[in-house]
Amino acid sequence: MRIKQRDFLFQFINSGILIVFAFSCIYPFYYLIINSLSNPADAANGIYLFPKNITLVSYEHLAQIPSIYQSVFISLSRTVVGTVLTVFSCAFVGFLVSKKTMPGRKWIYRSIIFTMFFNSGLIPWYMLMKELHLKNSFLLYVLPSMISAFYIILVKTYIESLPAALEESAEMDGAGLTTVFFKIIMPLSMPIIACVAVFSAVNQWNSWADNYYLVSDSNLNTLQYLLYTNLQTNMANMMNATSGGSSVTSMASSVQVTAASIKQSMTVVTVLPILLVYPLMQRYFVRGLMLGAIKG
């Protein structure tokens, strides 16, 4: 009886702590969403659990920023194009290096893995991108990330776990390498390919440093970058207000409210794809990471 009680107490406290942490991980997203959906004046006074006077006024303001459409388009296209390129090249290379007949296979594979641990550093990379005329080019977003040693390890490990007989019989029937890859390997490797695809899509969607370093053409700005510049302006305003020590007048505060709510709605728009896609894709992530962990 006592043991049961102690067990219950343990379960209660243990789950309690975990639930509080889980809540702290998800509540900020919820907070942003209900605030961006509420009347900005109410939001300014604090809304914590339910939206108040639901309105899309923040989103309407956001929609009036002309650059937002272009940057949504750029973010979406780099995600789609970048993911397709990365998935295809990593899967194909993973397949090729799994071939025992490849001459110099060990060295080829090693030279790819080596890139995981060794890095030329920012400046040489930056200069090379300029030399290759990737500055102010959309290709900057999708070409350098094409080859990823980590994804290649994942795919290769997976392919090597598949029964070799399938491939052999196809080859006996005269199927070439590409046929084997597209008709046999790709369909069989769907779980790992989905994992690589989701990893790389999230990466592409989140990337902004390349934009920041090397792109000055505003038509190529990503949504993340737009949000960052917006936040920086806000921070500058806040620092001025703080150091000036002046109390914000009611006029100014209504302007502030609009700025804050636009910022929140912009954050929601930027984070929403991740929040929507993540729960669906979680099992692929987990599976992929486990495979990587075994190898790593």
Q: Within 96-115, which residues bind other proteins (CB under 8 A)?
A: 96-97, 99-103, 108, 111-112, 115
Instruction: Between 31 and 77, name the residue whose CB sits nearer to other proteins.
Output: 31
User: For residues 39 and 149, what is the distance between their CA atoms, to the nearest angstrom?
Assistant: 48
Which tokens hold the place of 6?
């102690």
Q: How far is the CB of 60 from other proteins (least distance, A)?
A: 20
Beta-carbon contacts of residue 145 (< 8 Å; ≥ 6 apart): 82, 85, 86, 200, 203, 204
Instruction: Between 11 and 67, name the residue whose CB sits nearer to other proteins.
Output: 11
Give me the 143-162 binding string for other proteins, x by CB under 8 A, dash otherwise. Answer: xx-xx---------------
Residue whose C-alpha is closest to residue 224's, from 267, 166, 180: 267
Q: Which of residues 159-178 bind other proteins (CB under 8 A)?
A: 164, 167-168, 171-172, 174, 176-177
Q: Which of residues 2-41 bind other proteins (CB under 8 A)?
A: 7, 10-11, 14-15, 17-19, 21-26, 28-29, 31-32, 35
**Pick from 4, 46, 187, 250: which binds other proteins (CB under 8 A)?**
46
User: For residues 188 and 191, what is the distance between their CA atoms, to the nearest angstrom?
Assistant: 8
Q: How far is the CB of 217 from other proteins (least distance, A)?
A: 17
**Pick from 153, 208, 220, 262: which binds other proteins (CB under 8 A)?**
208
Q: Total binding residues for other proteins by CB under 8 A?
A: 99
Q: How far is the CB of 127 from other proteins (least distance, A)?
A: 5
Give me the 228-267 binding string for other proteins, x by CB under 8 A, dash otherwise. Answer: x--x--xx--xx-xx-----x-------x---x--xx-xx
DSSP per residue, 10-62: HHHHHHHHHHHHHHHHHHHHHHHHHHHHS-HHHHHT---SS-SS---HHHHHH
| Helices and strands per DSSP (H, E), number in the chain | 15, 0
* Part of the chain binding other proteins (CB under 8 A), chosen from 53-61, 62-70, 183-191, 208-216: 208-216
Q: How far is the CB of 234 from other proteins (least distance, A)?
A: 7
Across 121-150, b (16+ Cβ under 10 Å) vs e yields eeeeeeeebeeeebeebbebbbbebeebbb
Q: Which of residues 61-90 bind other proteins (CB under 8 A)?
A: 89
Angle at which helix 250-295 crosses helix 149-161, to 10 degrees, equals 40
User: For residues 39 and 258, what is the distance between their CA atoms, to the nearest angstrom?
Assistant: 10
